[in-house]
Copies of this chain bind each other. A is one copy, B any other.
């Protein structure tokens, strides 16, 4: 059975019951699996379903609540850059990468006996929780800022979730849940405040390796809100190395944030390991409007260890770049996806990206959820 280890202090906790964060320091728990050579065979993947559950030996041991999430296409995008690729997470169920985390986390929450799930969401996570909870037959309580893209609100409501719109940001939504959850008997599904959303997200790292024939790219550019994708990919790369699927090389990991909400970039530039709350957070990329991330030090350590970097782009740059992706690749990119292209262009002009670098841009969701931003 897996052990849960605090990512900061290293304390360990059992995985046979619902767990949240480390009671000592409030930091995320990591699911430590006993993986080594032979735990899972690359060859076995040939007969597996085209979803993230094809990596089942590395995922929670439970009945999957699945809507077909993961194993999304990795498109070569030669009109953007000769060796550039876009990982299109917009074709997931619920139209974003949030499906991966919620599939894993709802599966485990149900397995361990939770019946009422709550989440604060900047948009896509709320829709995803609502969908997976509906399939699981569990209650979903979704708290979103009142100005969240309408598609996410309608989606969550249509799936039967209890949707509450808050006059504030995602951390204000989290605070509301904090006030209510004990009295209501809700289990808090906030990103990195339970251990399994990161387990779902890590499958993006497994897929990158499988889809690139077990050679990781030189650079991964990732739009960073809560950062669970970065945290998950670090773990995936380490697990694959332990299973002898890949060597010790890692891509240079790049975190992109919005000028209007850049806590991780600010900490990176200051050389700090923990990020301060970013004041007056605002950006049209709702998934990037996350002023504080509990996994800050995990991301910052990972970026530095891989000789990566962190940078901001403006809303105008990310929306223009989302349009460029849509016009040149056929992928209807979210503003968050556009942010990765805008960042890549900057890094290219600075010489940080080399001509022959194999670069993967993560389009974390579909532009169809962002009509307000994209039709402005």
Residue of B nearest to A136 (CB): B330
Q: How far is the CA of A137 from the CA of B329 in the complex (A)?
A: 9
A6 to B307, CA, bound (A): 62
Contacting B at CB under 8 A, from A348-376, are 366-369, 371, 374-375
In the complex, what residues of B have CB within 8 A of residue A374's CB?
154, 158
A73 at the interface (CB under 8 A from B): yes
Tell whether A368 pairs with B332 under 8 Å between CB atoms, given A73-B67, A159-B326: no
23 contacts between A and B (CB under 8 A): A46-B47, A50-B71, A51-B73, A65-B330, A67-B331, A91-B91, A91-B92, A94-B332, A95-B95, A131-B331, A133-B330, A134-B328, A134-B330, A136-B330, A150-B371, A154-B375, A155-B367, A155-B368, A158-B327, A158-B374, A159-B327, A159-B332, A368-B368
User: Contact: B159 with A330, CB < 8 Å?
Assistant: yes
Complex interface: chain B residues within 8 A of A164 (CB) = none
- Contact flag A135-B368 (CB < 8 Å), given A68-B91, A158-B323: no
A277 at the B interface (CB under 8 A): no
Residue A80 is within 8 A (CB to CB) of chain B in the complex: no
B75 A332 Cβ-Cβ under 8 A: no
In chain A, residues 42-57, which have Cβ atoms closer than 8 Å to a Cβ of chain B? Answer: 46-47, 50-51
- A88 CB-CB contact with B under 8 Å: yes
User: A64 an interface residue at 8 Å Cβ cutoff?
Assistant: no
Residues of A within 8 A of B (CB): 46-47, 50-51, 65, 67-68, 71-73, 75, 79, 88, 90-95, 127, 131-137, 150-151, 154-155, 157-160, 322-323, 326-332, 366-369, 371, 374-375
Query: How far, in angstroms, from A367 to B368 measured CA to CA in the complex?
Result: 11
Identify the closest chain B residue to A50 (Cβ).
B50
A72 — which chain B residues lie within 8 A by C-beta? 68
Chain B, Cβ-Cβ closest to A157: B375
Kindly name the residue among A131, A134, A323 whose own CB sees the greatest number of chain B CB atoms within 10 A. Answer: A134
In angstroms, Cα B72 to Cα A131, docked, is 17
Q: List, in ascending order, chain B residues with CB within 8 A of A46's CB.
A: 46-47
Q: Which residues of B contact A51 (CB under 8 A)?
A: 73
Known: A50-B50, A154-B375, A332-B131. A160 touches B327 (CB 8 A): yes
Asked if B75 contacts A67 (CB within 8 A), the reply is yes
Chain B, Cβ-Cβ closest to A47: B46
Residues of B within 8 A of A79 (CB): 137
